[in-house]
Chain A
Amino acid sequence: MATPLTDKKKQVVLTGNSAVAYAMKQIDPDVCAAYPITPSTAIMEEFSSYYADGKVSTELVTVESEHSAMSACVGAAAAGARVMTATSSQGLALMWEVLYIASGMRLPVVMAVVNRALSAPINIHCDHSDSMGARDSGWIQIYSETVQEAYDNLFQAVRIAEDHRVLTPAMVCLDGFITSHAIENLTLIEDGDVKDFVGEFEPKQSLLDTGHPITMGAMTLPEYYIDFKYEQSKAIRGAKEVVIEVGREFGERFGREYGLMECYRLDDADVAIVVLSSAAGTTKVAVDRLRDQGKKVGLLRPRLYRPFPHEEIASALMGVKAVCVLDRADSMSGFGGPLFTDVRSALYGRDSAPKVIGRIFGLGGRDYKVEDAEAVFDELYNVLETGEAGKLTGYITI
């Protein structure tokens, strides 16, 4: 249970899962359909307690699988409801088919994804293989470094997804165990302020508007299919501007502004690491240590990964000479991990772009320590000194 240790400023200590469940309680969605899986289970357990105690007016649909969870979310959203769910790993994998249906039908479902490795071998710990497998599903993906951020991102995701310029489902990702089960300090937002911020969902159309019957999910042949996809693609790419707008408004209201990415001591950096989510925290410690030694190192942490803000990320890295992109997922025989491929191709063709290498780390919860980040920086200095990128892709901490 979320037991906020409230002081006047709403400072509390909560786990990532509790913070997400609490945010969901405050959002009070119309429908929530979900199925348990480690490490996101506690989100639904706590939300179920809010439901049991009458603290939410949500219809809770305790489905028999994640496939049905996402299917029920699709049905409910098509019926004009604000819909939320949460999952991890195998659960997200089981939803995969329906993820595309949610985005293709432009249904603004919001889902917390507590990142966990995929089987086999089975493993319950953090990596990003699950959400990376869904990166082309047409969902917005926002990655959170901390509990505070996961909490804040959820409110913003509702606004972004439901914006009529966007109407696209959104995932808020947080690292399994590292963030979901870690207790951190965070500042809560007042219930009333949450309500003001997220507002009411105003669907463009609804199945329940029986006076205006609509057909959704029709068979669509080559004469039209690609046009639907073109419109969808435009909408999700356009979400970037809305992410910026909403992040700015959030900052104005609550004092914590969010953008497309976080640049940490990057301005004058010679070498930099690009990494998502909680590993950025570890990397920052390494950056500070090396900075103390006079080394110009920095970090770029994408917050928005889908749509991929390629121009902004490339521009932010243009002053850097060598970059290592750390992926917590392997594309298994592709050219490096997914984030590496995206960052490298964003930089490709730019004059005097930095050298970019990619390393896979942290699969299945393998520790990523400050020393590991330092070792990566060492390698980057080696690239700088030799002028050669050397081994472009590989693993660390093996």
Chain B
Amino acid sequence: MATLKELSAREELFSGGHRLCAGCGIPPIMRLLLRSAGAPVVATTATGCLEVGTTIYPYTSWRISWIHSAFENSAATISGIESAYRSLKKKGKIAADKDIKFLALGGDGGTYDIGFQALSGALERGHDFLYVCYDNGAYMNTGIQRSSATPLGSATTTSPAGSAHPGKGQWRKDLTRIVVAHNIPYAAQASPHNWRDLAKKAEKAFNTEGPTFLNVVSPCPLGWYSKPELSIETAKLAVDTCYWPLYEVEDGILKVNYKPREKKPIEEWLKLQGRFKHLFKEENRWLLEETQKRIDSEWERLLEMDGKRVF
């Protein structure tokens, strides 16, 4: 695993000057990812903030080969690219010793929802690529609509906090678990506040043959109604409250990578974010309790599986 010093000495492949918001979690994730690859990367990105914010023609933030095709087909696009690579290598049109890493990127909308089928297909087919989902918990690019990754009770523009319906009515989809169920060699959850953990996981994933997956929580000040200067702390609290556990599944063995010494109450994370403001009203307190209960039980389940074979 590269040290921070080594990582920082590597070429910057994701240039500044992009149009992502101040405090957006995506750029630090991307910069770390690209530094961790250790070989040339060819990437594709689903439609969403990352794509729009980094490529407004004639500018680009990408100092690597990069393509955007559509919203739901990041995994299918990388399947084609990686297949072309294997084919052209086999035919001698690409040098036999040339190593390229393939990276597919998408937001939670492009990954949990509309791109879910393409992701599942690509994982099952076993292409050699890393899929990274930056999970900011809603369709942010189109103005904060709910996704299946949106937390229970969260106010979004399609699940507003009204008097009849106090925000999103459902628990979020546990995509990482579903991805793990594809029996792929490596899948993990990470957070940008813990650069060492994220870089290590990226490095591992890039260097594992076959499909690998990282689900990275990505604070969104605009959609979370949180302070941009607190983004990294907000990400840290997501982990310290065990809302976003850091864990990995390597060759079927689950490992919890971080166990907070003192598990913080979920309210501490929620209260930093305006999208949960209404949950603190007396009539909605049951949602807070419900949230805490679910988090506790999922964290317990994870701890029970720690070190165990899950497939």
Q: Which residue numbers of A lie inside 8 Å of B, CB to CB? A: 30-31, 33, 57-59, 61-65, 67-69, 71-81, 83, 97-98, 101, 207-210, 213-221, 224
CA distance A74 to B69 in the complex (A): 8
Interface membership of B118, Cβ < 8 A? yes
B 118-158 binary contact with A (CB < 8 Å = 1; else 0) = 10111011000000000000000000000000000000000
Inter-subunit contact B60/A215 (CB<8 Å): yes
Inter-subunit contact B90/A57 (CB<8 Å): yes
A71 touches which of B60, B62, B77, B82 (Cβ 8 Å):
B77
Interface membership of B7, Cβ < 8 A? no
Q: Which one of B50-58, B173-181, B197-205 is at the interface?
A: B50-58
Interface membership of B70, Cβ < 8 A? yes
**Which residues of chain B have C-beta atoms less than 8 A from A224's C-beta?**
57-58
**Which residues of chain A have C-beta atoms less than 8 A from B57's C-beta?**
218-221, 224
**Which residues of chain B have C-beta atoms less than 8 A from A81's C-beta?**
80, 83-84, 87-88
CA distance A80 to B88 in the complex (A): 9
Residue of A nearest to B51 (CB): A219
Interface membership of B31, Cβ < 8 A? no
Inter-subunit contact A67/B83 (CB<8 Å): no
A64 touches which of B44, B87, B91, B124 (Cβ 8 Å):
B124
Interface membership of B76, Cβ < 8 A? yes
Q: How many A-B residue pairs have CB under 8 A?
A: 169
A67 touches which of B60, B67, B72 (Cβ 8 Å):
B72
Inter-subunit contact A62/B125 (CB<8 Å): yes
Sample of 21 A–B contacts (CB below 8 Å):
A33-B83, A62-B125, A64-B124, A65-B121, A68-B79, A68-B122, A71-B118, A74-B69, A74-B80, A75-B69, A75-B83, A79-B88, A80-B88, A81-B87, A83-B80, A98-B70, A207-B42, A208-B100, A218-B60, A218-B68, A224-B57
Inter-subunit contact B121/A75 (CB<8 Å): no
Residues of B in contact, count (CB < 8 Å): 48
Closest 7 CB pairs of A and B: A75-B80, A64-B121, A72-B80, A79-B84, A71-B76, A71-B73, A68-B76
CA distance A213 to B81 in the complex (A): 14
Residue of A nearest to B61 (CB): A215
User: Distance in Å from the Cβ of B249 to the closest Cβ of chain A?
Assistant: 23
CA distance A68 to B127 in the complex (A): 14
Inter-subunit contact B84/A71 (CB<8 Å): no
Interface membership of B1, Cβ < 8 A? no
Inter-subunit contact B77/A75 (CB<8 Å): yes
Q: Which residue numbers of B lie inside 8 Å of A, CB to CB? A: 40-42, 44, 51-52, 55-58, 60, 62-70, 72-73, 75-88, 90-91, 93-94, 100, 117-118, 120-122, 124-125
Residue of B nearest to A220 (CB): B57
Inter-subunit contact A213/B65 (CB<8 Å): yes
Inter-subunit contact B117/A65 (CB<8 Å): yes
User: Distance in Å from the Cβ of A134 to the closest Cβ of chain B?
Assistant: 16
Assess A218 versus B81: contact at CB under 8 Å? Given A30-B87, A65-B117, A67-B72: no
User: Distance in Å from the Cβ of B83 to the closest Cβ of chain A?
Assistant: 4
Inter-subunit contact A208/B70 (CB<8 Å): no
**Which residues of chain B have C-beta atoms less than 8 A from A71's C-beta?**
69-70, 73, 76-77, 79-80, 118
**Which residues of chain B have C-beta atoms less than 8 A from A67's C-beta?**
72-73, 76, 118
CA distance A217 to B120 in the complex (A): 24
CA distance A74 to B79 in the complex (A): 10
B84 touches which of A208, A218, A219 (Cβ 8 Å):
A208
For A61, A71, A78, A210, the residue with the greatest tally of chain B CB atoms inside 10 Å of its CB is A71
For B67, B75, B91, the residue with the greatest tally of chain A CB atoms inside 10 Å of its CB is B67
CA distance A214 to B68 in the complex (A): 11
User: Distance in Å from the Cβ of A254 to the closest Cβ of chain B?
Assistant: 26
A63 touches which of B42, B67, B79 (Cβ 8 Å):
B79
User: Distance in Å from the Cβ of B141 to the closest Cβ of chain A?
Assistant: 10
Assess A74 versus B62: contact at CB under 8 Å? Given A64-B121, A67-B72, A219-B51: no
Inter-subunit contact A210/B42 (CB<8 Å): yes
Inter-subunit contact A80/B65 (CB<8 Å): no
CA distance A101 to B80 in the complex (A): 14
Assess A209 versus B83: contact at CB under 8 Å? Given A67-B72, A68-B73, A74-B77: no
CA distance A59 to B89 in the complex (A): 11
CA distance A216 to B69 in the complex (A): 8
A216 touches which of B68, B84, B117 (Cβ 8 Å):
B68
